[in-house]
Chains A and B, each alone.
Chain A
């Protein structure tokens, strides 16, 4: 009988190429097992072989997500593997993200089962736990020995299409999938038992946790406004005349960053509003009603604030999905950080 074929993904460090100095290495493919793959190979036994090991530097992967994924896929595909394993990444953040990304791509493009492993605080866990089976590991490579049998057990089940049981039984991180089962007692009885415990102040674990309420803790205040660089962000739909980037008047799918360098105030000759949620007449006449550039310039001169960023960030708030707005924020905060912005004034109509 032919052996089941596995392709294994590891990073620069585990391939022996080196640490930070090798993190920029491009994807490579090696026949057979190497590094942690040797322990996996031994555990899986003689019915399995590690046909190839693919390697990529963590930084190269992180900076070239799409290219790296495509290159790796083209290296993996010819081996026609039955199973793909990445990592485990333990607590290495960039490695974790790389493992998750490549696993997801392999599963989607090649349609084969995939497995990875991480320490539960690895940032890759939250990004991929819903999509992948992520085996729970310790936070360092010292946990490899304990992780190996879990990889073997789950890998075999995946290859043979057997039922994957709960996370605690199998040793992977909870994916958040709700699965039915028959309890020993009916729901009303279980509820009453929980209520009695709750009334006694005892522990009463819920069978169904509420979603996490996404709140962000308030940041510490600005302590030195006179030396702080401020940026303006708005959902008021102010854009340069002609709306060059075609930001929608409602249900926006994009945002824009536009220069205010050298301007003393928002001039109606330069700017307009595309916001579809309010009577635009006043703002069309005076865009400072949404972007208070005139007064901020005064304050800049007076030394009340340190400096004003020479651009503003804008989108339309009305009808815009919270998911889109969140994505805009995630996208532009990097720029704010890079530009040394110390505080933001966000205006909305």
Chain B
């Protein structure tokens, strides 16, 4: 899991290999995920999961694996991550991330965590 959400780290540290960096912005998480894909990893979760637009939430978590779980088309993951990075730039160009209050920031952590909880509860995660 690549993430900048400390609550994901707290929840799954030791259970997953977690690449966590508090300093990362949303974009850095996308870039870190892209680097993993370049090294042959597969995306398990959609990079834009959440439909909270990239200029709204500071947090992002993405799960990748060395094994693909599905017979996806060859270029799917790379296309997805590039499209996501492009979407990020589009929205940030539109309007940068606001200065959220700590309460809001915590809410965004909760939403991101919740998305990942949904993923972790998926039985497919037990396959590995």
Indicate if A touches B (C-beta under 8 A). Answer: yes
On A, residues with C-beta under 8 Å from B are: 250-251, 277-278, 317-319, 321-322
Considering only CB atoms, which chain A residue lies closest to B78 in the complex?
A322
Interface size class of B (residues with CB under 8 A): under 10
| A317 lies within 8 A of B31 (CB) | no
| A319 lies within 8 A of B39 (CB) | no
A277 to B34, CA, bound (A): 11
Give every chain A residue within 8 A of B38 (Cβ-Cβ): 277, 317-319
How far apart are B88's CB and chain A's nearest CB, in angstroms?
Answer: 12
Considering only CB atoms, which chain A residue lies closest to B39 in the complex?
A277
**A-contact bits for B27-38, CB 8 A (1 contact / 0 none):** 000010011001
Instruction: Verify if B82 is at the interface (C-beta below 8 Å from A).
Output: yes
| A319 lies within 8 A of B31 (CB) | yes
| Closest CB pairs A-B (n = 6) | A318-B38, A319-B35, A277-B38, A277-B39, A322-B82, A318-B35
A278 to B35, CA, bound (A): 11
Considering only CB atoms, which chain B residue lies closest to A251 in the complex?
B31
A317 to B39, CA, bound (A): 11
A319 to B35, CA, bound (A): 5
Other contacts beyond A277-B39, A318-B38: 14, CB < 8 A: A250-B35, A251-B31, A277-B35, A277-B38, A278-B39, A317-B38, A318-B35, A318-B39, A319-B31, A319-B34, A319-B35, A319-B38, A321-B85, A322-B82
How far apart are A273's CB and chain B's nearest CB, in angstroms?
Answer: 15
Give every chain A residue within 8 A of B34 (Cβ-Cβ): 319
How far apart are A214's CB and chain B's nearest CB, in angstroms?
Answer: 12
Considering only CB atoms, which chain B residue lies closest to A318 in the complex?
B38
**A-contact bits for B73-96, CB 8 A (1 contact / 0 none):** 000000000100100000000000
Considering only CB atoms, which chain B residue lies closest to A348 in the complex?
B38
A18 to B3, CA, bound (A): 64
Scan residues 1-44 of chain B and give those whose CB is less than 8 A from a CB of chain A. 31, 34-35, 38-39
Considering only CB atoms, which chain B residue lies closest to A323 in the complex?
B86
Give every chain A residue within 8 A of B85 (Cβ-Cβ): 321
Give every chain B residue within 8 A of A317 (Cβ-Cβ): 38
Name 12 A/B residue pairs within 8 A (Cβ), A-sorted: A250-B35, A277-B39, A278-B39, A317-B38, A318-B35, A318-B38, A318-B39, A319-B31, A319-B34, A319-B38, A321-B85, A322-B82
A322 to B34, CA, bound (A): 12
A317 to B38, CA, bound (A): 9
Give every chain B residue within 8 A of A318 (Cβ-Cβ): 35, 38-39
Give every chain A residue within 8 A of B82 (Cβ-Cβ): 322
A126 to B31, CA, bound (A): 30
How far apart are A260's CB and chain B's nearest CB, in angstroms?
Answer: 26
